[in-house]
Each structure stands twice: as structure tokens, then as C-alpha cells.
Structure 1
Amino acid sequence: MNTKITILIIFLFGGIISSFGQGSPYYKGGFKIKFDDKDEKYVRIITWAQVQANYDDSRTPSDTDPDPSDLSFQLRRARVLVYGQIVKDFLVLTHIGVNSLNSNNMHPVGGEGTPQVFMHDAWAQYNVAENHVLGAGLHYWNGLSRLSSQGTLNLMTMDNDRASWSNLGLSDQFARHVGVFAKGNFGRLQYNVAINESISNTLDNTSLNSESAVYQGRNLLGSANAGKNYTGYFAYNLLNMESNFLPYKVGSYLGTQELLNIGAGFFHHPDGAVILDNQGELQGENVNLFALDVFYDVPLGENGSSLTAYTKYQYNDYGTNYQFGPYASGNMFYGHAGYLLPGKFENTRFQPYASFNLTTIDAMDDDRTILGIGGNAYLNGHNSKLTLEYQRENFNGQTFNRVSLQAMIYL
């Protein structure tokens, strides 16, 4: 066999890896195929799967399930991410996968209408100066807050706070926009900003009315008025510098980093929402979202324990009296904290945590609250872990209880 081919196979299946710490001493960043000794020519491959068992006492009958069971199973995520470069100044990334595949949305032969595998990310970027990058494509360089670009490889909670993906399906495709972005840092201040196209076929199919706005600006007013949106996020690193090589924010470093970051961000979509005026004519309304957040992750002593904490305030203006699913004009307060119990990395580690979301809604007198209590069992850092979480939601006079168990492996 050709020597070069033999070496390539060894690299691929042997997992030649480089340091990209995310909380495991065994795994340092995916299969990495190197083509030189300077680490400037390479292809890196990451793959992961999350499988869940869910108990939910709020399931309601439907045409396809007249008597739903409280217990169900689903493939929450299955993804493959690949990126690489030939020279250090140019990089291309692609990310494909499937989400939330379950018995109600599967197809007998995997046909149209199921949660098909689709392109999550696909962008190219260029280093235009030291510590500054320009890029374009289908990207995840979101503004607003840290949770708006939360990675799913190393979550501390069972999943991301759903309302923190604040435009998912309204202006973007599954938290991704097609657009141009810039990212980098000025000393300890990191930034990412973007100008994006907004989608036409938004999830919001609410009928037009004069009482509350609907998120259908581009579809009804046209791309000239409502086609673009503008977003950015800025974080000051008070302790160590966190990597911003990729946009996927780490949920918990499990004591491998000492970080204290203060962030602020925005999202602006001119005429993103529409409402009927007193004469029954269409009137555009700007969508403006702002957020302030703090992320703290620090080892505690020398016994292997660590603390992870995050808190955020977000101001939401989706338009007059807007409410659709988890999104609403009003204010949102969110926070979570977890404590990694003392121990050694080579042993199974445990991390209890709690989260809380309080959302005030302009269109209603009632607030939404979501309390989460759970814990992680790290069999091999984030690369192999089990998560158990109880979630209690109170909204509009109703209480919903959910319990989920998730198994995750990523390579």
C-alpha cells in the first residue's frame, strides 16, 4: 500500500488530536488529520449523538396520537462537523445533522416530512489581520448573548434555555443565518458582529390583526424593507482569555479553565414584525433585543471540584404585544449554576445543577417561570456523560412537569 495512504489512514482512525480543552483530559479535540508539521494544513472531524427518554405530563391528544403516553424516546441530536484549512489564513467549516427524531415525526422509509439531515453551518472565513477574521455563509456567529451561540457538545444543563435561541425559526434557519460576519478581539475584549438575510418562511403563522404584531415582516413587506438583520456580541475576559476560534460557546469547563466574562449583545431587525393599523393597513415594527450576561467558571482548590455559573438579563421587543411559543415582548431573567463534586478525572464525576427562567410578557398579566434541577454523571468528561433533569414550568395558570434522561457521546 502507498506509504502516504497508510499514514493518512493511521491519522484518521488513530485520531491525531490537538489541544482544544472542553473538560476532558482524554479527548483534546476530535479526529484531526494533519498535512504538515506546523499545524497549518489539516482537516478536523467531530461527531456526536444525544439520545433521550422523556416523561411529560402535559402531552395532549392529536390526530396521529389520540391517547399519548407520558413516556417517550427520541434522538435529540446526531451531528457531524468538519472544518479545515490549507493555509492558516483561510478556513472552511461544514456542519450537518438531524434533530429531535421521534415516533411522531419519523417516516416509514425516511421520506419527506421527517426531521431530515440538513446543513446546520457552512461558512468560509479569512484572517484579515492578527486577531481579526471576516467570514460569510450559513453561520452561527450570533449576537445577543452567550446562550444565543451555545454549543451542544458541552452543555451543563440538559439543553440550552430554549428562549435564548431568540430568533430560531423567526428570522433564521435553526439559529443560523446566511450573512457576513466579523469576529476577533481587541486585547481582552472579544467581539462578533454580523449582517444577515432574514428568512421569508418564518415559523410564526399567526393571522394578522391590530392587537398584536406577528413576525412576518420580510414575507409581507419585502426584502427591501425587512430583508436584513444586524446582530453582535461583546465579551470582556476579566481572567483568562476564552477561545473564540469557533462560535460554539462552552457550557462548563469542569475546572479546566478559570474564566470570568462580562458580555453584552444586540439583535436588530428593521420592520421584522408587522401589525394592522386603525385603517387595516400593514405597518412594520422593528424587532429589537438586548442582553447583558456574566459567565463564571473556576476550579475550587486542588480537590478537583469546580463552580460554573451564568446569569443573564434580556430585553425583548418583538413588536406590540408579541407572543409566539417561547418568544414574547417583555423581559427575561435567566440563570444557572452547577458544582462539580471533588474527584479525579479518571473516575466518574458528578455535577448537580439548577436553572431558572423568569419571563415577563407584555401581552399578559401572567409571567412564565421554568425551574430546572438536575445532574450530570461524567463518565469521560463531556465526551461520555449521562444527564438527568426535572423541569417544572408555570404559565398561564397551568403547571407542566417534565423529567428527562439523556445519554451522550461525542468523538
Structure 2
Amino acid sequence: MKKLFIIFSLAVMQYTYSQDTVKVHKNPDEAVSEKNPLDIGELKINLNPKGDKWLKFGISSQIWLRSIENNPGTAVNGLPQEQTYDAGIRRMRLIIQSQLTPFYSVFLQMGINNQSFISGGGTGTGNNGAGKKAPFFFHDAYNELAIIPRNNFQTGKPNKNNLYFGAGLHSWNGVSRMTNASTTKMLAGDIPIFNFPNIEIADQFSRQLGVFVHGEFDRLNYRFSVNKPFATNLKPTVGGAAVDNNQSGRLSYSGYAFYQFFNKETTITSFLPGNNLAAKKVLNIGAGFYTNKDATQTQPSENVFISHPANIFGADIYSEIPMGSKHKEMGLTLYSVYYNYNYGPNYLRMSGLLNPGTPDPQFTGQKALEGAGNNRVLMGTGNIWFSQVGFVLPKFSTVLKVQPFFNYALKDMKALNQSGSYYDIGANFYLYGQNARIVAQYSSRLLYDITSKTIFDRKGEFLLSLQIVL
């Protein structure tokens, strides 16, 4: 896989050189456009001459190629395997936005996630083979009403303040900027996932059903929601850790707000970018929360059950700083966030993206608390500090931009006896802006001993990600 990355990098550089050295001979009798020939603009259909009623489409695709060092005691497709090479569809999405009237809009997002040769299967999983026919489902489906629009309906001039109200299956989340992350404008190969406090537990791929408001008060951008979490009913063991059980059916409440010191961002959708290639000067400081009473449950003694709230707090800073002369298009992107999670006593959650492994029953060596495959400690009751930095290198091509990046996460979980650090290092290769991106990344994760709850090993994972956004 290392050789693959080297070959890939050389191929990209060669392609870039060949594109930059092509001479264009202009014919004076022909009209020449200065517009980038690969700039497709928006996939938008206006429904009236004024253009305030429209239908817009978006398509995105992320394909992963990986080399994974599996956790000890991993079996893949029933056979022991220390190293796994795979390919998968991390995300494939179709977005439809419709402005039905100047006041009223609809937002739909559909797609699939996490399909590999062995995971993500739908109707094809079973005796005919795992992983086939991944389910295609709605991620977002909500209606939205403009109470105070961004632009005055009569004059078209911007309003200093705006307010929108909506309802449905949505991702206008609380807690942090990264809890509202755009998956098409990420700095690294992926988001760390612990930024979604209920991912695939009490939500549907980071979405819940409910009502929300969002808008701006001058430079303060805000969003708040009241939702009905998806039902969970795990039964805790006697004397064990808290597990997800919200059978009492309480509502959840969340919110996030950030103050914008320099250039302001437009939040037509809920998704906040983590990377705009430092095109503009940005400095935002934010904070948010999520709370759900009776979200988890413990059983301190036989048939005695105690419910616990889920209370999550986040505070973050996001900055993009153009650097040097403008024609070099250099820039620094920085993001840092602190999370405090409380799900109840010793709550702990493991996860591995597109995990190819299952436990090997014949393995007799030291096993990891995380389990098989590429599982890691995702989150739990405790604290996480996460930071990332990226730098756009000076412009050397009209085709390609290169942006090295680094991620670091420090996790201090109450159920573990040692805090642990996780990191990712890599580079983005952008072709004509952010419509096409190739990511080369190496990730390192810790492994904890089952008995001592301390670190005993570290494993790695190489990723080559191919992303298209239209």
C-alpha cells in the first residue's frame, strides 16, 4: 500500500506537469472564455423567470481503498487475518433542494454508506454473500419556513438578522461545528465520528426527528432543536456500565452558536465546512450542547434499574488564514474542539469504520478491549480534545492544489485507566477546486488490555480516498 501511494503521487505530479505545459494557441476569430472549463457551477433548474423558485441537485461520492492492520484475534470472512486490503463506498449521496415559494423550501438527502466486500449489505447479505445491495435511505427530509429571510423579499437587500423554522428528519445539531460537519468539505480523509454523540444509537446517521430554528443575529450564527430520539432498549448487566436505553421516551434538546469575527459564512443548509482551502480570512468561536433525560440505564443490583441522562458539551474554534501574496493561494486551516460527555457510569462505545473483522474463536493470544478488525475506543463518559491543522502549499499548477494535514485526538474516558492519543497524517490533492479530491492518509490507533484497561499496543491504517462532488 505504501508503494501504491508513491506511485499515485508520481502519477498526479506527472499529470499536473503535462496539463500545465500544454500551450493554447488562440485563434483571433474565435471567442475565448476565461472561465475554468471544468467549473460546472450549480445543477439548478429555475422554476420561474425571477429565479426565486428553483430546484437544485447535488451528487457526491467517496470511494476508499485501504490497508488495515487488524486488532489481535481478528477473523475476516471466517479466516484469521492480521492485515486486510479492501475497497469500499464510504458515502454516496444525492441531494435535492427545492425553493417552492420565497418563504418555503424542502431539503432531501438520500444515499448509502459504508459498503465494502463484507459490510453494509442489505438484501444480498446471507448465504449468497455478505455486503451486497447496501440499503439506500433518506438521511435528511425536512421542510423549512423563512420567518425573517436572509434577503428582503421586496427589495432583495440582505437583512442584518435572519430566522428560519423547520421540521422533519434533520441534522441541525448542537454541541460543535464538527457535529454539523460537511462531509464534502472535510480537512482530513474523514471526520473522527465521536463528533456525533449519538451516531447510529439514538439517531439515524447523526439525524433525529423533530423541530429546529436557525439563523443569524448580526455576527452570531445559531441553531437549536427539540427532537424525539430514536428508541433504544439495551438491558444493562448487574453491576455493569451504563447502556443505551431511553424507554421513557424523553425529548432531546440541543443547540450550537458561533461568533464570526471576520468573514461571515452562509448557512443555507445545516452543514458547516471544515476546509475552504483558506480562501478567505475566518475566525469563529463556538459552543454547544446536547441533553436527553433517561438516555441510558444501569442495573446496580438484580432487577434494580437506574436511568441516567446524556449530557454533552462542546466548545471550539475554527480559523482559516490566507498567507503570503494572493497569487500564491497559500493558507492555514485550524480547528480545535473540546468535548465533555456524560452518558452515565463507565459508558464506553467502540467503533471501526467499514470494519472487515469479527472475533476469531480460535485465537489464544492477548485480545484487545476494542474487539476485532479496526475497532477503536470511539467515545464514552469522559473528555476528548481534538485538533487538526492543514496548510495549502504555494500555487505551482493551474490544475492541482496540495494540502498536507494532521489530526490529533486525546481521549480520557472514565471506564479506562489510561488516557490515549490517536492521530492521522496525510495530504489532500485537489483538482480544480473542491469538486475532485484525492486523499492519502495514515492513521494510528491505540489498543487497550481487557483486564488492566491500559494501553498495550498500537495499530495503523493506510487510506486512499477518491471524492467527487457535483
Length-normalised TM-score, structure 1: 0.87
Q: Residue in 2 aligned with 1:30? A: 42
Pick which of 24-33 and 131-140 moved more.
24-33
Q: Residue in 2 aligned with 1:39? A: 51
Q: Residue in 2 aligned with 1:74? A: 88
Q: Residue in 2 aligned with 1:294? A: 317
1:217 partner SS = coil
Distance 1:383 1:345, change over 3 A: farther
Whether the 8 Å CA contact 1:264–1:293 is kept in 2: the answer is yes
Query: Matched residues in 2 for 1:264 and 1:345: separation?
Result: 39
Residue 319 in 1 paired to residue 364 in 2? Answer: no
Query: Matched residues in 2 for 1:255 and 1:37: separation?
Result: 35
Residue 363 in 1 paired to residue 376 in 2? Answer: no
Whether the 8 Å CA contact 1:304–1:344 is kept in 2: the answer is no
Question: Pairwise CA RMSD of aligned residues?
Answer: 2.1
Q: Name the aligned partner's letter for residue 419 of structure 2.
A: D
Query: Matched residues in 1 for 2:124 and 2:232: separation?
Result: 24
The structural deviation recorded for 1:314 is: 0.8
Query: Matched residues in 2 for 1:29 and 1:167: separation?
Result: 35
| Alignment map for 1:213-224 (pairs within 5 Å) | 213-218=242-247, 222-223=248-249
Length-normalised TM-score, structure 2: 0.77
Task: Give ranges in structure 2 of 5+ residues lacking alignment.
Answer: 1-35, 150-161, 351-377, 449-455
Distance 1:307 1:206, change over 3 A: farther
Q: Residue in 1 aligned with 2:188? A: 157
Residue 123 in 1 paired to residue 142 in 2? Answer: yes
Query: Matched residues in 2 for 1:49 and 1:294: separation?
Result: 28
* Identical-residue share of aligned pairs (%): 26
Query: Matched residues in 2 for 1:179 and 1:314: separation?
Result: 24
Whether the 8 Å CA contact 1:25–1:381 is kept in 2: the answer is no
The structural deviation recorded for 1:109 is: 6.9
Aligned match of 1:142 in 147, 151, 173? 173
Whether the 8 Å CA contact 1:215–1:273 is kept in 2: the answer is yes
2:262 partner SS = coil
Residue 99 in 1 paired to residue 113 in 2? Answer: yes
Q: Name the aligned partner's letter for residue 229 of structure 2.
A: S
Q: Residue in 2 aligned with 1:180? A: 211
Q: Name the aligned partner's letter for residue 323 of structure 1.
A: L
The structural deviation recorded for 1:366 is: 1.7
Q: Residue in 1 aligned with 2:64? A: 52
Deviation digits for residues 189-246 of structure 1, max 9, x if unmatched?
A: 01100011111147xx57433332111123xxx32xx3x1110001000111111111
Deviation digits for residues 132-188 of structure 1, max 9, x if unmatched?
A: 000000001010001111111111100001211121022101100011000001110
Q: Residue in 1 aligned with 2:306? A: 283
Aligned match of 1:64 in 77, 80, 86? 77
Larger of the two Rg values belongs to structure: 2
Aligned match of 2:100 in 86, 91, 95? 86
Residue 391 in 1 paired to residue 443 in 2? Answer: yes
Whether the 8 Å CA contact 1:51–1:406 is kept in 2: the answer is yes
Whether the 8 Å CA contact 2:176–2:288 is kept in 1: the answer is yes
Pick which of 142-151 and 393-402 moved more.
393-402
Query: Matched residues in 2 for 1:195 and 1:294: separation?
Result: 25
The structural deviation recorded for 1:268 is: 0.2
Distance 1:106 1:89, change over 3 A: closer
Q: Name the aligned partner's letter for residue 215 of structure 1.
A: D
Query: Matched residues in 2 for 1:137 and 1:345: separation?
Result: 44
Q: Residue in 1 aligned with 2:271? A: 248
Whether the 8 Å CA contact 1:337–1:354 is kept in 2: the answer is yes
Q: Residue in 2 aligned with 1:16? A: none
Query: Matched residues in 1 for 2:135 and 2:108: separation?
Result: 16
Q: Name the aligned partner's letter for residue 98 of structure 1.
A: I
Q: Name the aligned partner's letter for residue 74 of structure 2.
A: P
